[in-house]
Structure 1
């Protein structure tokens, strides 16, 4: 059960403050994309733009790690000049470990942000990172497979 329980839970990614990140010595946020930073297949909005600017102004790097295609990730990340990787195969950790090595980042200075227990929180925990679970954005547009998993996640959350 401990691998599914996030360190923090928030309604929205913008609830993650610079103060919290600094308290935890976070220099890098590894974040899921769809339903976490934007609704499924949507681009970054005003809230995302302002939040990302705050991160940059405080020396905190955002790295998007998604199970979606590289094309989808690029459409979201390129306008913001964010590092982004598609087809990460979360919750497996080999791809993200390679990314961490490439960009010289340690788990102890990173946090994993996502909207799903079985992919994002589990992946972050397996990497030794603190984890943040946010409520999904645009649930009504999610694929049926994701909506199905939400029911399983709800039953796990009841046990906390």
Structure 2
């Protein structure tokens, strides 16, 4: 289980990701969390920078689907405003919501090696993506001060598992998770 909490990549922001490299590596579908990955919990609509981000990725040939654990209509409203499909109440780290996004919210069938999942939490996003055997990029939270209670709880739980990962997989910890814990970014692949 602990190995499934280790992401393939870590980035400070979705805007720092080398999308050209992902595309060269065959990635075509981006599954992304919403809250504190794309926007903070306080925000409800995409800003111009996010709209431009989406346009540039679509122009490159990516498809984007939001996969959120939130039940709120704000997920659907946000996805509609951004012009992408979504799965709300996805129950990450369970597989069902991620599988639904891949099978029912995309324009075509994708192989696992064509998919990456972006998220800001080890316990939901990284673990869920790894359980589905996907590549996963851990993204620094947009604004941790806006985290809801369940997310704050998950972040406390993360600390316990980060210590275990550091002991059991010191090389992998140093390559990616150390930067996450320390808040630095060299944006290396694992």
TM over 0.5: yes
| Aligned match of 2:123 | 118
| Aligned match of 2:184 | none
Deviates more, 1:61-70 or 1:25-34: 61-70
**2: CA distance, partners of 1:99 / 1:138:** 25
Cα offsets for 1:62-97 (capped at 9, x unmatched): 100001025121121111210111011111112321
**1: CA distance, partners of 2:31 / 2:59:** 17
Please state how far the C-alpha of 1:41 moved relative to its aligned partner.
4.2
Deviates more, 1:2-11 or 1:44-53: 44-53
Q: Unmatched 5+ residue regions in structure 2?
A: 167-172, 174-190
Task: Point out the structure with max Rg over C-alpha.
Answer: 2
Question: Structure 1's 143 and 18: CA in aligned 2 closer, same or farther, altered over 3 A?
Answer: same
The answer as to whether partners of 2:87 and 2:97 remain within 8 angstroms in 1 is: no
| Aligned match of 1:44 | 46
After superposing on structure 2, the runs of 4+ consecutive aligned residues of structure 1 that deviate more than 6 Å are none
| Aligned match of 2:103 | 101
Deviates more, 1:16-25 or 1:80-89: 16-25
Is the helix fraction higher in 1 or 2?
2
The answer as to whether partners of 1:91 and 1:119 remain within 8 angstroms in 2 is: yes
79, 82, 86: which one aligns with 2:81:
79
Please state how far the C-alpha of 1:106 moved relative to its aligned partner.
2.2
Q: What is the RMSD of the two structures over their aligned residues, measured on CA atoms?
A: 1.5
The answer as to whether partners of 1:14 and 1:47 remain within 8 angstroms in 2 is: no
- SS of alignment partner, residue 37 of structure 1: coil
| Aligned match of 1:33 | 34
- SS of alignment partner, residue 116 of structure 2: strand
Matches within 5 A, 1:140-159: 140-158=145-163, 159=166
